[in-house]
Structure 1
Amino acid sequence: MIISWRRRKAGRKTENKKQFCNLDMDVEEIAIPTHFRCPISLDLMKDPVTLPTGMTYDRSSIEKWIETGNSTCPVTNQELTSFDQIPNHALRRMIQDWCVENRSYGIERIPTPRIPVIPYEVSRIRERVMGAARRLDEKKCRELVGKIKAWGKESERNKKCMAENGIGGCLSAVFESFASSSADEYVEILVEILTVLPWMFPLGEEDQSKLGSSVCLRSFMSFLEGKDLTARQNTVLVLRKLFSLDQKYVDAFGKIERGVEAIFGIIGEPICPQVTKAALACVLFMISSLPSAGTSDKYRSRFVELGLVSLLLETLVDAEKSVSEKALGVLDGLCDCKQGREEALENALTMPLLVKKILRISELGTEFSVSIIWKLCTIETQESFLIEALQVGAFQKLLVLLQVGVFNGMKDKVTDLLKLFNLHMSKLDCVDSSMNFKYLKRPSLS
């Protein structure tokens, strides 16, 4: 097999102030030396590594081979006694020299790759971080955590290696240690740890209990209300992951004074879509707790009092799809309480936005939109609101839903709404009153 590079010789002609390129193409080909090509991908190797069998592959190709469950050498078919990958520096330099020699053919020199972190290095730095934390040596801890952060920025592979070898548990313990000593005094190291923690989930039960301790949650609370945007961003990301692990962390944070207000503040002063989604997910965990917990109603009422219903509707006006889906989920949860439904009914944006979002975001987004409309129209039945729904096209949109096939859990709600709207169609000129729902044929769903 011959893989070649082409060189183009171009002539340029300039007229007045405009330049037009007249290309006379002379094509010259140069073959990539066979031993420079990865046996798996057949591409020029950028990071050649040698297996215990003596065969050399490009690192990304052999890693994919191993990650898919293969335990043999692709070329020799020998069983691998070890998955160690030794960088082949001599071959890499030969490839780089060849690229430089042939740069006139448009071949770019491959950069020297960074060597991935290995479990031994992770274990070693973990021990050093723990030792520095026991001495409350903030300077040394910041230096070591900075190195961990640099490793993580290099590749996803490094993040995975660190997560699998206990860095998450180590940093959770260190965070708790410095927060317990004096959160105000050790702000810099706490902020540095927060930049790394989002990579380290899921955590073991013991490790997550450290992050979920009262001292750590109070520290998170202070960062959420602080002015450091990076700290606020990473705190929300950590809380979202922590809340997803166990309801007890949701309840513990909710008991902290101004905890609900701190989460609301992140949504009210958006940093970026990723952070907004994380904050909305936190709200969902807080308002969706089991009835036996007895806290969800309290959270719903407090978020409604803070003005979250109006804020969500304003967010839905021009938010990206993933944010809109989360916002609709939260709004649906808030409409489970009377106070939330009343706030939604009073807002002029509610019905136009909900109808617009049907079939425009995702299956889940449509389900949330229909659920909210159903709660507002069947639980808090107001004729003016029903007429407004008809005016903005709710009846037609729900008919379309039936035609394309309603999603799971929505059939009964769509049916209820169409029957309800059918009673009021005669009062409007905007809807064809000859359309009667009782004659509508609906698709049968399994």
Structure 2
Amino acid sequence: MVFPWRLRRRGGDKKEIITAIGNSDTDITIPPQFQCPISFDLMKDPVIMASGITYDRGSIEKWIESGNKTCPATNTVLKTFEQIPNHAIRKMIQDWCVQMGSFSGIERIPTPRVPVTQHEVSDICGKLSAAVRRGDHNKCVDLVGKIKNWGKGSERNRKCLRENGVGFVLCVCFEAFAASQNVFLLEEVLSVLTWMLPIGSEGLDKIASAVSLRCMMELLRSMDDSVRQNAALLLKELIALDETHALALAEVDGVAEAFVNLIRDEICVSSTKSSLTAIYHMIYYKPKMVSEFLETGLVNLAVEMIVDADNSVCEKALAVLEAICKTREGREEVSKNALVMPLLVKKMPKISELATVSSVSVMWRLCKTENAEAAVEEALRLGAFQKLLVVLQVGCRGGTKEKATELLKMMNAQVAKMEDGCFDSSMDFKYLKKPF
């Protein structure tokens, strides 16, 4: 139930919270005992603190998470942050909502779920670990289902699950059953693991085992798009932080085709970005994989994304092209696409600093190939000279400045050849004569 509350004063400093219900001209005053002392809103989940004051759970949690250790109403130091549900007040609020709803349309607030506690999370972790050791598939399904339901309850529950070791236990469970045919359990574990990110290194090591990676690859080829999306997200997290994990994934049969197909199927932006990030790291750590990715048509697919995808996807697609161009075979394939150079010039430096870094790097590598003179001339025709000057003026990271400077020198030299008769002199390149 969400209403636009407004505050007004009546008689001195006394404050009252009233609400405008729909288009009605009648103002419904919330009884003071039903208002949270922090937000002055109607309490939806009233809890009693150690000071004896009742607050709405969401409001007092924000107060405590901000570093406060006192009761907001009494300013006394709270000896404990335990929150005890005030069932009496909650029942009174619900009855009041029903009564007011008979003529104003106010809906009865739902009975809130009690948040999961650290003790409950520790208990279920122990039970799940024991069930995994016994190989008790059915018990694991029940326990993982309970964890999933807890996570669906609230962000507070998810935070409690993340902070109390659930991610590691789930990774152990996934590895233990990865070689089995218990697909439902594995899919459930995978869906909950996406809430646990970032997962610690010990848990990631379990997912990076040979049997787990083979299972993840099967899930990446699943007919269920949500399963594929979850698998891509977890694999992206896995290999982005550890070279060893990236190399291990690169050894799995069919990995290139699986990720490229996920991009081609356009399930969602999240899965596309996860796949592009994973591809970039695999090529970065194992350049020999370029051949495998080229066979899947990755270059043309990446170019298509640069043309019409949003900026975040475009940035990652440019990074993939940059990684591909680090090999001779990759540069040759990229140079065959007629849209590459126009897109590099157009996108630089519009999207982001990282996209500019990738664009300059790809252009620099293409202008140093066997067909370098043609590439430099094409870049000049498209206005790359001015764009590179802008890049130098706004500043750039790493070796981008050096690459941009070298490209400008190459273009300056190319202009001299054009003026010697190798190119139509009707185009005015006088502004390019300044040496670099």
Category of TM-score, reference length = shorter chain: 0.7 to 0.9
Aligned to 1:4: 18
Aligned to 2:129: 130
Question: In 1, Cα distance between the equivalents of 2:121 and 2:350?
Answer: 46
Give the one of 56, 59, 81 matched to 2:57: 59
Q: Which moved more, 1:137-146 or 1:331-340?
A: 137-146
Contact 2:232–2:274 (CA under 8 A) maintained in structure 1 = yes
CA drift of 1:329 comes to: 1.0
- SS of the equivalent of 1:39 reads coil
Question: In 1, Cα distance between the equivalents of 2:280 and 2:155?
Answer: 29
- SS of the equivalent of 2:70 reads coil
Question: In 2, Cα distance between the equivalents of 1:69 and 1:226?
Answer: 45
The aligned length equals 414
Spell out the pairing of 1:424-443 with structure 2 (5 A cutoff). Answer: 424-425=414-415, 426=418, 427=423, 432-436=428-432, 438=434
Aligned to 1:115: 114
Aligned to 1:218: 214
Question: What letter matches 1:243 in structure 2?
Answer: I
Q: Which moved more, 1:336-345 or 1:382-391?
A: 382-391
Aligned to 1:413: 403
CA drift of 1:380 comes to: 5.0
What CA deviation, in whole Å up to 9, does each residue of 1:271-312 have, x standing for no partner? 2111111111111221223xxxxxx22123332343322221
Contact 2:171–2:206 (CA under 8 A) maintained in structure 1 = yes
Percent of aligned positions with the same letter in both sequences?
50
Question: What letter matches 1:5 in structure 2?
Answer: T
What CA deviation, in whole Å up to 9, does each residue of 1:35-85 have, x standing for no partner? 222222222222222112212222122111221222222222222222211
Question: In 2, Cα distance between the equivalents of 1:277 and 1:54?
Answer: 49
Question: In 2, Cα distance between the equivalents of 1:299 and 1:284?
Answer: 10
Question: What letter matches 2:382 in structure 1?
Answer: V
CA drift of 1:162 comes to: 0.8
Aligned to 2:355: 365
Question: What letter matches 2:155 in structure 1?
Answer: E
Spell out the pairing of 1:70-219 with structure 2 (5 A cutoff). Answer: 70-103=68-101, 104-105=103-104, 107-180=106-179, 182=180, 185-219=181-215
Alignment root-mean-square deviation, CA = 2.5
Contact 1:419–1:437 (CA under 8 A) maintained in structure 2 = no
Spell out the pairing of 1:190-269 with structure 2 (5 A cutoff). Answer: 190-269=186-265
Give the one of 43, 46, 60 matched to 1:45: 43
Question: In 1, Cα distance between the equivalents of 2:244 and 2:212?
Answer: 14
Question: What letter matches 2:250 in structure 1?
Answer: G
Contact 1:5–1:107 (CA under 8 A) maintained in structure 2 = no
Spell out the pairing of 1:376-395 with structure 2 (5 A cutoff). Answer: 376-379=366-369, 382-395=372-385
Question: In 1, Cα distance between the equivalents of 2:408 and 2:314?
Answer: 25
- SS of the equivalent of 1:102 reads helix
Question: What letter matches 2:331 in structure 1?
Answer: R
Question: In 2, Cα distance between the equivalents of 1:347 and 1:429?
Answer: 28
Q: Which moved more, 1:326-335 or 1:419-428?
A: 419-428
Contact 1:341–1:380 (CA under 8 A) maintained in structure 2 = no
CA drift of 1:429 comes to: 7.3
Question: In 1, Cα distance between the equivalents of 2:33 and 2:346?
Answer: 59
Give the one of 281, 290, 311 matched to 2:301: 311
Give the one of 299, 306, 314 matched to 1:324: 314
Contact 1:179–1:190 (CA under 8 A) maintained in structure 2 = yes
CA drift of 1:428 comes to: 5.7
Contact 2:412–2:435 (CA under 8 A) maintained in structure 1 = no
Contact 2:170–2:189 (CA under 8 A) maintained in structure 1 = yes
Question: What letter matches 2:242 in structure 1?
Answer: D
- Unaligned runs of 5+ residues in structure 1 are 11-26, 290-295, 441-446
TM-score w.r.t. length of structure 1 = 0.85
Aligned to 2:6: none
CA 1:2–1:346: 2 relative to 1, 3 Å: same
- Unaligned runs of 5+ residues in structure 2 are 1-14
CA drift of 1:105 comes to: 4.3
What CA deviation, in whole Å up to 9, does each residue of 1:205-230 have, x standing for no partner? 43322222111111112222333323
CA drift of 1:189 comes to: 1.0
Question: In 1, Cα distance between the equivalents of 2:390 and 2:97?
Answer: 59
- SS of the equivalent of 1:2 reads strand
CA drift of 1:153 comes to: 2.1
What CA deviation, in whole Å up to 9, does each residue of 1:20-43 have, x standing for no partner? xxxxxxx44333222222222222
Contact 2:315–2:351 (CA under 8 A) maintained in structure 1 = yes
- SS of the equivalent of 1:314 reads helix
TM-score w.r.t. length of structure 2 = 0.87
Question: What letter matches 2:346 in structure 1?
Answer: K
Q: Which moved more, 1:195-204 or 1:212-221?
A: 195-204
- SS of the equivalent of 1:360 reads coil
Question: What letter matches 1:53 in structure 2?
Answer: S
Question: In 2, Cα distance between the equivalents of 1:159 and 1:125?
Answer: 14
Contact 2:409–2:435 (CA under 8 A) maintained in structure 1 = no
Question: In 2, Cα distance between the equivalents of 1:384 and 1:408?
Answer: 28
CA drift of 1:437 comes to: 5.2
Contact 1:313–1:350 (CA under 8 A) maintained in structure 2 = yes
Q: Which moved more, 1:247-256 or 1:330-339?
A: 247-256
CA 1:304–1:430: 2 relative to 1, 3 Å: farther
- SS of the equivalent of 2:19 reads strand
Question: In 1, Cα distance between the equivalents of 2:197 and 2:76?
Answer: 36
Question: What letter matches 2:124 in structure 1?
Answer: I
